[in-house]
Copies of this chain bind each other. A is one copy, B any other.
Amino acid sequence: MTRTIDPTPLSWPDEVELLPLLPLVHAAWVDGVLSPAEVLALRGRVEDQGRMTPGQRAALAPWLDPRSPPTPSELASLATLARRYDVGDVSVATRSLTDLGRALARAAGAEDRWTNPAAGARLDAIEAMLGEVGTDAARRLLGHGRAPDPAQAHTPMCDASSLGRFLDQDHPEVRQALLEHLGTEPLRVPLGIPMAEHRARTLDAVRFLALQGYGAVGMPEAYGGQGDPAGGVAVFETLAFGDLSVLVKYGVQFGLFGGSILQLGTRRHHERWLPDIASMALPGCYAMTETGHGSNVRDLRTSATYDAGTDELVLHTPDEAAGKDWIGNAALDGRMATVFARLIVAGEDHGVHAIVVPLRDEEGHLLQGVRIEDRGLKEGLNGVDNGRIWFDSVRVPRDNLLDRFAQIDDDGVYRSEIAGSGRRFFTMLGTLVTGRVSIAAASVSATKTGLTIAVRHTERRRQFGSEGEPEVALLDHRAVQRALMPRLAATYGLHFAVRDLQRRMGGDAVKEADSELEVRAAGLKAYASRHCVETLQVCREACGGVGYLAANRFGALKADTDVFTTFEGANDVLLQLVAKGLLSRFRHEMGDLRLWGMMRYIADRAGESMSALNPVVTRRSDEEHLLDPAFHLGSLEYREERLLRSVAQRLKYRMDAGMDSFRAINECQDHLLELANAHVERVVLEALQDGVARAPTPGLSEVLSSLAALYALWRIETHRGWYLEAGYLEGNKSRAIRARVGDLATEIRESARLLVDAWGIPDGVLSAPAAGVP
């Protein structure tokens, strides 16, 4: 077989005829982007043009034979040929491969045949088959490559401080003041100190925060606070840029212990305890988890039995495995605890309730009947004194029941406005929902710290490069851009999603059960903590050995945040909760159909959107489409809906076949997790797109919309196996998306410094003092 292109134009009439197709043929091979089947399909389409002479066909065929791809030098001869023609204005000629083909034909004097609209439309259809972005491929054919030119670097239209102001619109002063504290003693806790010292320093730090009033920000003014729950959240989020033991001990004291008394208790509890909690005069615990029941809190076994004779509640741990476990502040400092226990009144078990139980006297000695064991050294967070607590018939006054939602009246009768122990328990878990949102927020902050360190380092550190030229910054290595930039985009998405959820939750987390907020909090906690753990690892590795130095914080950040994936509900358990929530929400929308009655509804909805798929869209890979926010959100929505339908169908089938719901769910666990992740990713993208819409200047919205596009395409790329299986994408489009992710990462790299600087983390916080260093 011979393929020849005579480098002298116009000498072979057939070649002139083929000029319009030359850019398409070249692009088909040059990046190896077409599969053999697609090359054949392209050939079929070209031959279908119906205007080709047998000579033309014979000339073209060898160029589109997958069994014998052209050699690089043969391809180069195509480019050489093309470059001999004067196509006029390059920016016009290279709008697409078809345009370039027409321009070549025109330059060769063969334009009439190819400039008629019908032929043009057919060429456009062929171009759509290619996974290339036409302009890029056309420019490269003419030798106008897209190698990054530092002189033409994209200048972002916004600056770090205006972006920062947009990101942190609420409580900027509180955040700023606290950030300054974080860089100085006593909040700048050294790394590598023994556990006992670490705990002492952490306690000092939390006392300092209380002294500065940071513990009371969220509490009512009547009890010495500022009555600003959102401010409390801002404090927590900002603290998460610093030492995470301090953050967690702060969260235990003010968020969990203080929060449970504020939200589950009533006025007399507030008056009695909140001021001392806010000032750290009364350090306390939040005792929910038991050794035998971690994430499965509904089955807790500690009991609180009402003794009508003495008007007391008797707290008791039935056996070793029912001991309260992992309780922060318990091993050393806690003097009191909010204990979650089954409330038994007159022999009847009313489910889990919260009771305030003293643990230690003012000198720190354990009270009678209370046994506590130190959980000892952990992977991280060693400034927090976690412990296990067992109660041996410990008596507290009836008054210690936190009785906002359920009471034992003076006659010893149990009453609650909320019917059903499940619903009541769920309401009381509101504090847990707040905890989950807080962990999501803290995960985002810790991720921001890691990305800031990594971007600053990789922008400075140079390794390898072209012969005879200065070495290249690590951040200009494509693999580093690919690793860091999509994660930067996801972190922006999570920022908006978590802030949005905080706004929607408002101050009082334990309102009448709001399953949507609960689902969202669980999903964002799981997703943000996973993102944090993975991103910190990527950042550490991008920084190489320097990232391994304790002073650069990755060691502690990784060790401390690792448990974010586990506490406040293990991620896999939370994601299943999300999936179940999505399934039952549909049931809700459908009214009171029975458990799986929503199936038909879901199937119908999915049927509709699926029938909307069409072969043009599944192949469309032009820039306008790939960067279209509606395409992005539509893709993530499609995935969520189709997974929802498929999970419902799988569960239904198994339950119909007589399987109990635990087994059925267990067999479909992967699908439930996939559905939950798909849901959260859609929520994150929506929040990021909403951020674009709200951006106050075009410069801000431009940079944010690039982030949104990168996040969306990165997610589609990651799940492309699923999309291809579903027929939502075809191979050429999937490949075009991968290429586009790389290009966007390179584009955003130019704004990377600005994007991390906008978070405003001071230098003094980005590094940590390390003990034991000479």
> Which A positions have Cβ atoms within 8 angstroms of B?
29-32, 35-38, 66-69, 71-73, 75-76, 79, 140, 143, 145, 147, 191-196, 289, 293-296, 325-326, 374-380, 382, 463-467, 472, 476-479, 482, 533, 537, 540-541, 544-545, 547-551, 554-555, 558-559, 562-563, 565-567, 570-572, 596, 599-600, 603-604, 607-608, 610-611, 613, 645-646, 649-650, 652-654, 656-663, 666-670, 673, 717, 719-721, 724-727, 731, 734-735, 742, 770-774
Contacts and interface: CB of A to CB of B under 8 A. Distances in A.
Contacts of A294: 463, 544-545
A88 B501 CA distance: 59
Nearest to A649: B32
A294 to B, nearest CB: 6
Contacts of A472: 662, 666
Contact of A555 (B379, B600, B771): B379
A30 B721 contact: no
Contact of A734 (B32, B73, B75, B721): B721
11 contacts: A72-B649, A143-B657, A143-B658, A378-B549, A379-B540, A379-B547, A467-B660, A478-B669, A555-B559, A558-B562, A720-B725
A377 B195 contact: no
Contacts of A596: 72
A198 to B, nearest CB: 9
Nearest to A326: B545
A377 B35 contact: no
A192 B377 contact: yes
Nearest to A541: B565
Nearest to A664: B147
The 4 A-B residue pairs with the shortest CB-CB distance in the complex, in nearest-first order? A379-B555, A376-B773, A32-B646, A377-B550
Given A192-B382, A377-B770, 19 more contacts: A31-B649, A32-B649, A35-B725, A143-B658, A147-B667, A192-B194, A196-B772, A326-B545, A374-B773, A377-B550, A377-B551, A377-B771, A378-B550, A537-B562, A541-B571, A548-B566, A559-B559, A724-B725, A725-B731
A620 to B, nearest CB: 16
B194 A771 contact: yes
Contacts of A548: 378-380, 562-563, 566
Nearest to A144: B657
B30 A649 contact: yes
B549 A376 contact: yes
A584 to B, nearest CB: 17
B724 A650 contact: no
A387 B734 CA distance: 48
Nearest to A772: B195
Given A36-B613, A670-B478, A545 B558 contact: no
Given A36-B611, A734-B725, A377 B653 contact: no
A570 B596 CA distance: 52
A558 B379 contact: yes
B194 A195 contact: no
Contacts of A771: 194-195, 377
B66 A32 contact: no
Majority secondary structure of chain A interface residues (helix, strand, loop or mixed): helix
B478 A666 contact: yes
A656 B192 contact: no
Contacts of A467: 660, 662
A662 B464 contact: yes
A508 to B, nearest CB: 29
A35 B658 CA distance: 27
A550 to B, nearest CB: 4
Nearest to A655: B72
Contacts of A611: 36, 66-67
Contact of A463 (B295, B559, B652): B295
A487 B235 CA distance: 40
A599 to B, nearest CB: 5
Given A646-B32, A731-B727, A376 B72 contact: no
A293 B545 CA distance: 11
Given A68-B607, A295-B463, A147 B30 contact: no
Nearest to A68: B607
Given A377-B191, A378-B555, A670 B482 contact: yes
B541 A537 contact: no
Given A69-B603, A145-B657, A650 B376 contact: no
A378 B382 CA distance: 16
A147 B379 contact: no
A662 B467 CA distance: 8
A544 B482 CA distance: 31
Given A379-B548, A571-B541, A656 B76 contact: yes
Contacts of A69: 603, 607
A97 B593 CA distance: 34
Contacts of A377: 191-192, 549-551, 770-773
Contact of A645 (B32, B326, B544, B724): B32
B656 A72 contact: yes
Nearest to A718: B721
Nearest to A563: B548
Contacts of A565: 541
A466 B660 contact: yes
B731 A572 contact: no
Nearest to A557: B379
B376 A550 contact: yes
Contacts of A599: 71-72
Given A545-B563, A550-B379, A670-B478, A659 B610 contact: no
Contacts of A30: 649, 653
A296 B463 contact: yes
Contact of A67 (B147, B607, B721): B607
Contacts of A555: 378-380, 559
A734 to B, nearest CB: 5
B772 A376 contact: yes
Contact of A72 (B608, B653, B659, B773): B653
Contacts of A466: 660-663
Contacts of A72: 596, 599-600, 649, 652-653, 656
Contacts of A195: 192, 771-773
Contacts of A652: 72
A734 B463 CA distance: 40
Nearest to A600: B71
A250 to B, nearest CB: 19
Contact of A774 (B145, B296, B374, B382): B374
Contact of A720 (B68, B289, B662, B721): B721
